[in-house]
Structure 1
Amino acid sequence: MNVMAKAEKKISSAFIYFFGSFGGILFGYDIGVMTGALPFLQADWHLENAASLVGWITSAVMFGAIFGGALAGQLSDKFGRRKMILMSAIVFMVFSVLSGVSPDMGEASAYYLIIVRMLLGLAVGAASALVPAYMSEMAPAKARGRLSGLNQTMIVSGMLLSYVVDFLLKDLPGEWAWRLMLGLAAVPALILFLGVLRLPESPRFLLRKGDEAQARKVLSYIRKNPAEIDQELASIKETAKEERQANQKTSWSTLFSGKYRYLVIAGVGVAAFQQFQGANAIFYYIPLIVQKATGQAASSNLMWPIVQGVILVVGSLVYMWIADKFNRRTLLMVGGAVMGLSFILPAVINWMMPNMNPMTIVVFLCIYVAFYSFTWAPLTWVLVGEIFPLAIRGRASGLASSFNWIGSWLVGLIFPIMTASMPQEAVFAIFGIICILGVIFVKTCVPETRGHTLEEIEEQGTNHGRVKASNPES
């Protein structure tokens, strides 16, 4: 068997993990690109005083992603993770180009761009649901935190790439700058498509469809020890057998049945809190935040997004270093507490010292981004990828992704409206309170998953009452 596995081995594990997580680049690029494109788009289409329209243009991708995540998660249970990632890359390419060639038709142009970006959001949402599920099913339990963290590294690398592209294009004529910024998103989508053509399907999906031979072959690419392959196959098959014996028919109501409710609430809750904590307000609007704080034009503040992007990338690398050394819950609670204080303290300082340096809030935002980058940012997707049982993984991952995008959409939509009607410090203080609520949620509702196989996590969820009674930290 070992000789046969070696003879069949044609795809390196590094290739699988790299392109398996590359979908995060698409996710990240489109999160970041509007940060630099928006000031030029506002000037080109005279939207400086149209806060609600600016909010809709910015958040349209997230609105589409709400449905893309749920739809892709459900379809991936039927057609496989790999095929749906390929489809997402195609959709992303098409609508990125259509965004860049938006016609100049007055007010109708804004509505065209909103609709196109909603459709683009279907692919962004799909990637956010599919990549964590695929990576968690390919990675061994002992390295799943680190390898699943590759998704976050790809996301923030995509964001940094978009910030750099925005900065390099900022001296072009305004009507060309924002179009190229949006249209160039098609390039990483094409790279993803070409890479995923060679990727194998998830072994867990293959076994679920009854193709044990192909599942064994895929595991031989990414597991060194034949005994480990046999053990993992046996574990997956046992779980699948129990599901067949129970004759389960999964539906949306199944997610909240007694057997699955605990883990679904935990995973979906963490995904929702990640966005309602306000991170994307920084990522989408940092030039406008600095403009409001200092009075400098937003289009001249495009170096700040790059600073944020570098912090995010460094943080993602820090996470990969510490991922499997600390409990998931510990990192989430420490990170959430510091993030909350980073948002609340500027409001407190401004109340005590009304003449506070306006850049103080930007310094605290950098502290927020630093802690977010190696805690909530990567761990949300690690948990989403590993916490849901096999029978509902695709559907539940899609639901978690949709709740994540609902938060992202609402933050992107209402932030410019909120800052137009109240001080920035007050807006961020509200997000700070949500961060603290997220810490309480993790403490009371989220189990520890580090070092457990996916099957052990499922068993832990099924018997969570007994487990928590004997081991409160779990």
Structure 2
Amino acid sequence: IEVIASKYGEQGSLSIASTAEDRVEAKITPIVIFSCILAATGGLMFGYEVAISGGVTAMPDFLKKFYPDVYASTQKLNVNSNYCKYNNQGLQLFTSLLYLAALVATFFASYTTKRLGRKKTMLIAGVFFIVGTVLNAAFNHLSVVILGRVLLGCGVGFGNQVVPLFLSEIAPTRIRGGLNILFQLNATIGILLATLVNYGAAKIKGGWGWRLSLGLAGVPALMLTLGSLIVVDTPNSLIQRGKLDEGRSVLKKIRGTENIETEFAEIVEASRAAEEIKNPFRNLLERKNRPPLVIAIAMQIFQQFTGINAIFFYAPILFASMGFGSNASLYAAVITGAVNVLATIVSVFLVDKVGRRMLLLEAGIQMFLSQIVVAIVLALKVKDHSNNLSFGLAILVVVMVCIFVSAFAWSWGPIGWLIPSETFPLEARSAGQSVTVCVNMLFCFVIGQVFLLMLCSLKYAIFLFFAAWVLIMSLFVLLLIPETKNVPIEEMTERGSLDSASTAEDRVEAKITPIVIFSCILASTGGLMFGYEVAISGGVTAMPGFLKKFYPDVYASTQKLNTNSNYCKYNNQSLQLFTSLLYLAALVATFFASYTTKRLGRKKTMLIAGVFFIVGTVLNAAFHDLALVIIGRILLGCGIGFGNQVVPLFLSEIAPTRIRGGLNILFQLNATIGILLATLVNYGASKIKGGWGWRLSLGLAGVPALMLTLGSLIVVDTPNSLIQRGKLDEGRSVLKKIRGTENIETEFAEVVEASRVAEGIKHPFRNLLKRKNRPPLVIAIAMQVFQQFTGINAIFFYAPILFASMGFGNNASLYAAVITGAVNVLATIVSVFLVDKVGRRMLLLEAGIQMFLSQIVVAIVLALKVKDHSNNLSYGLSILVVVMVCTFVSAFAWSWGPIGWLIPSETFPLEARSAGQSVTVCVNMLCCFVIGQVFLLMLCSLKYAIFLFFSAWVLLMSLFVLFLIPETKNVPIEEMTERVWKKHWFWKRYMDDHYEGDGDPSRIFWNPGRIMWNFKYHTDAGPTY
């Protein structure tokens, strides 16, 4: 397979949808929807059989009748481990035989699918299901029941072979993903129904409840059988079997149009190629078929090794082993089943909007984190799980399992079947699907056969085992699975990537030169100063020597043993002002920095920032008067205002397009290093006797200040800045030097044109309100607000105080802060390498899930276990809290931390760039000030709920990213308007300069009369995010 659409959904982006749907006209017809609903009942049968056996094998009457040894084991009170009492190979074989039979049957199903068609193969599957159900429910002999399981397995083999193929072939391209997922949606409904049936059947007296559970499988079996008699066969199948006229007729019927010749010709050609294949399974090994074959096999293995089938095979047993008790066990299974259905419905609507890869990668993070949390909780609190969980921890475990199930249900569950069914060419499709089902059933069998043994041996570590597999499969998706969204099924091999990178880089030749790297490293030391000042104040304001000298009331409060709440002892507005004034000063300074950045250039503005930093540091460290120390903080704030204004612009303008994101993130990387260094300095300074450690902490800020000052004297100014100030020859010369080539005329002409437009702007801040500048303005403002309301600066402002309030003690507090600082640096380094590979949006969305989950876990643990936090956390829970905080910090560090500065610095046009960056820094500093000023008050009032407050903001900002932030990766900085804003589904309406509302403050963002979406656009192709 060629890389199909690596820029899924980017920049409103170069979506394949329009090309595909313009070329092959297709309506969404009732016959397609009806046929897909009927065929998808094969998934209902599959899901029911997956889940029903777990409940049946836990019913005492079933065990007493067929497995008396296991029944006796469950009745023993002194069993060695509650994990092991169901560990019996014969019992596991009852479930696993289903999958072993399906494995064998799928090879026969491959033949019937090709020779008899999709419709008749579904009928065969239905017959197998009906006969198998009768044998399972009506007979008393174990061998007959086992035979019934084998026949049901044959039904699964035939059904899972044919239904996904049928759905992919009959569906129109633009909603193929959603219709294909009806198979998995029905499977999840079957699982939920099986759980409900088991719950009711378990309460039936008289010992026949298990018969009802097994017998009700006849309902979906009958639905599939009757449905197979009603549906039409797919045009692909009919044409492949030589029925061209019937195939053409059916194609017209299901597409709702006479204009089907292009698609018909494609299918005929694919059928002709398929007819030449005499050995379909050998054909799979041909070079061109290996990519979809490898992906199909890998996806089935990975799907099973998420651990999901293990949960649904033995959901009642699993929850019973956790100590939930009988009724609570089935309640928990019902809850997870309902979550499974609802989350699969979500995937029906998202898979053709955000793409297959996005869902798989997001879910990988969600599944990994939830399994780690469950493993830690179970390991720390209930050890061998022979006793019931406490109510609070039981809730936490169920929440985490539901989070895991929801992630699987909108990703690996449906997409594990979707991608293999749509990526094989027609000549290999039947055999390829056969191998897909075979591998799936083989690993279902393996997991079903060994799961209870693993549970007995690994205990809680079974979640760590599956978490490791989730990590591996997520890397596989990231590196090796292409995007197939909106690609016609018979064009998978031919359709190449519509990646904008090649266009950009072919047009503007640019090397990665030493002068660019050196200049970016020197300039980014402005981030080092920023990060150091963000973090240093939290440690200084916790030092007894500093508090005793400048804030004696706070010092006295910290020494009281009977304070009402450990959260509140640092709550003092003057103390918070010491930190917050830095950001208030930066807020004001950024407007002056906007002027110097434009008129004096990027280089001189960095020099001004460095001078402010040096003078402010001297006043902070060398004087005893609080007023002078405060003035020093204000001057440092001015340095931040100038530095944060100019450095991101400098980095974005000087960097080549293809690595602009990575070089821009050097600013944030240095900020994280500054934070880590400040934490280490604070840790050492706090141990200095004599009460002067705080001077060392504040004084060492002079080192990065000096580095920035000297660096600003060495670097070249950017060509954009030079040309904007009329220095065309110097600008051309610098452009040649930094690009390492004489071929710079195209880029030079773009910058000159952008400069010409910029010179016509007399009022830069009023210009920001022009209609075409509103999209980057709105996004810049929103990103700064959201960046601060993730809660990250609150953690780094007061990391020592926060951890002390959690009961870690003084030394443990700074250790924890050092750990989070190191994680911050390492994760930011990750973003340097990933931001120009996977894109800005992917990192932001993945991090949103990671931050949300980690904050929820911390809030739950603190709420349940330590309440007002006046006592120290236990060792185990301390580890869990630190792990979750590090998880949060790592997510922020490769997403909102660097990208919050990157996107605003690269999306404004040149004429609005300086003013836009000024507003960006202003809003950032304002929000820093607000958070810094109110955080301790919030901590005192909300306590553990502060994490819930910030998690709600994380959810809001993730939705904002999903719908409103375009992808800017690989787009030249002076082409954002043409290649990003004018192609975005929402923002493109703001690109009309002649719109009547320009300059009217009351109509800054939108005209209510024009707020309605273009519904034809959304119906025909959908918004491309």
TM-score normalised by L of structure 2: 0.43
Please state how far the C-alpha of 1:458 moved relative to its aligned partner: 2.7
In the other structure, the counterpart of 1:59 is 580
Letter in 2 for 1:209: R
- Structure 2 unaligned blocks of 5 or more: 1-512, 558-570, 868-872, 992-1013
In the other structure, the counterpart of 1:103 is 624
The CA RMSD over aligned residues, in Å, is 2.3
In the other structure, the counterpart of 1:34 is 537
In the other structure, the counterpart of 1:78 is 599
What is the alpha-carbon distance in structure 2 between the residues aligned to residue 151 and residue 221 of structure 1? 22
Q: Please tell me whether the aligned partners of residues 86 and 197 of structure 1 are also in contact (alpha carbons under 8 angstroms).
A: yes
Letter in 1 for 2:765: W
What is the alpha-carbon distance in structure 2 between the residues aligned to residue 309 and residue 209 of structure 1? 40
What is the alpha-carbon distance in structure 2 between the residues aligned to residue 219 and residue 154 of structure 1? 26
1:39-60 Cα shifts (integer Å, max 9, x gaps): 1122443223452122111212
- Structure 1 unaligned blocks of 5 or more: 1-9
Is 1:248 the equivalent of 2:761?
Answer: yes
Is 1:449 the equivalent of 2:964?
Answer: no
- Percent sequence identity over aligned pairs: 29
**Residues 340 and 115 (structure 1), Cα distance of their counterparts in 2 relative to 1, 3 Å cut:** farther
Please state how far the C-alpha of 1:61 moved relative to its aligned partner: 1.0
Bigger Cα displacement from structure 2, 214-223 vs 358-367: 358-367
What is the alpha-carbon distance in structure 2 between the residues aligned to residue 411 and residue 307 of structure 1? 23
What is the alpha-carbon distance in structure 1 between the residues aligned to residue 903 and residue 611 of structure 2? 27
In the other structure, the counterpart of 1:20 is 523
**Residues 300 and 97 (structure 1), Cα distance of their counterparts in 2 relative to 1, 3 Å cut:** farther
What is the alpha-carbon distance in structure 1 between the residues aligned to residue 755 and residue 624 of structure 2? 52
1:98-145 Cα shifts (integer Å, max 9, x gaps): 0112325xxxx2x54334312310111221121100100000111101
What is the alpha-carbon distance in structure 2 between the residues aligned to residue 418 and residue 445 of structure 1? 30
What is the alpha-carbon distance in structure 1 between the residues aligned to residue 757 and residue 617 of structure 2? 44
In the other structure, the counterpart of 1:4 is none
Bigger Cα displacement from structure 2, 364-373 vs 453-462: 453-462
Q: Please tell me whether the aligned partners of residues 274 and 376 of structure 1 are also in contact (alpha carbons under 8 angstroms).
A: yes
Letter in 1 for 2:693: A
1:53-81 Cα shifts (integer Å, max 9, x gaps): 22111212112111222321232111111
Bigger Cα displacement from structure 2, 320-329 vs 353-362: 353-362
Q: Please tell me whether the aligned partners of residues 840 and 899 of structure 2 are also in contact (alpha carbons under 8 angstroms).
A: yes
Q: Please tell me whether the aligned partners of residues 133 and 384 of structure 1 are also in contact (alpha carbons under 8 angstroms).
A: no
SS of the residue 1:175 aligns to: coil
Please state how far the C-alpha of 1:293 moved relative to its aligned partner: 1.1
What is the alpha-carbon distance in structure 2 between the residues aligned to residue 88 and residue 223 of structure 1? 27
What is the alpha-carbon distance in structure 1 between the residues aligned to residue 522 and residue 588 of structure 2? 24
* 1:33-432 equivalences in 2 (<5 Å): 33-40=536-543, 41-45=546-550, 46=552, 47-48=554-555, 49=557, 51-104=572-625, 109=626, 111-173=627-689, 175-227=691-743, 229-243=744-758, 247-294=760-807, 296-297=809-810, 301-351=813-863, 359=878, 360-423=880-943, 425-432=944-951
Letter in 1 for 2:961: V
What is the alpha-carbon distance in structure 1 between the residues aligned to residue 982 and residue 639 of structure 2? 33
What is the alpha-carbon distance in structure 1 between the residues aligned to residue 826 and residue 726 of structure 2? 42
Please state how far the C-alpha of 1:420 moved relative to its aligned partner: 2.1
In the other structure, the counterpart of 2:954 is 435
What is the alpha-carbon distance in structure 1 between the residues aligned to residue 771 and residue 949 of structure 2? 34
Q: Please tell me whether the aligned partners of residues 311 and 369 of structure 1 are also in contact (alpha carbons under 8 angstroms).
A: yes
Q: Please tell me whether the aligned partners of residues 11 and 221 of structure 1 are also in contact (alpha carbons under 8 angstroms).
A: no
What is the alpha-carbon distance in structure 1 between the residues aligned to residue 864 and residue 818 of structure 2? 32
Letter in 2 for 1:270: M
In the other structure, the counterpart of 2:14 is none
In the other structure, the counterpart of 1:3 is none
What is the alpha-carbon distance in structure 2 between the residues aligned to residue 354 and residue 282 of structure 1? 19
Please state how far the C-alpha of 1:17 moved relative to its aligned partner: 1.5
SS of the residue 1:318 aligns to: helix
Please state how far the C-alpha of 1:157 moved relative to its aligned partner: 1.2
Please state how far the C-alpha of 1:351 moved relative to its aligned partner: 4.7
SS of the residue 2:969 aligns to: coil
SS of the residue 1:422 aligns to: helix
* Greater share of helix: 1
1:368-424 Cα shifts (integer Å, max 9, x gaps): 10111111111111112101110011111011111111111111111111222331x
SS of the residue 2:688 aligns to: coil
**Residues 14 and 465 (structure 1), Cα distance of their counterparts in 2 relative to 1, 3 Å cut:** closer
Task: Give the number of the structure whose alpha-carbon radius of gyration is greater.
Answer: 2
**Residues 381 and 27 (structure 1), Cα distance of their counterparts in 2 relative to 1, 3 Å cut:** same
Bigger Cα displacement from structure 2, 263-272 vs 343-352: 343-352
Please state how far the C-alpha of 1:352 moved relative to its aligned partner: 5.5
Please state how far the C-alpha of 1:242 moved relative to its aligned partner: 4.5
What is the alpha-carbon distance in structure 2 between the residues aligned to residue 426 and residue 64 of structure 1? 31
What is the alpha-carbon distance in structure 2 between the residues aligned to residue 139 and residue 361 of structure 1? 39
Q: Please tell me whether the aligned partners of residues 616 and 631 of structure 2 are also in contact (alpha carbons under 8 angstroms).
A: no
Question: Greater relative contact order: 1 or 2 (C-alpha under 8 angstroms, separation 6 or more)?
Answer: 1
Q: Please tell me whether the aligned partners of residues 65 and 126 of structure 1 are also in contact (alpha carbons under 8 angstroms).
A: yes
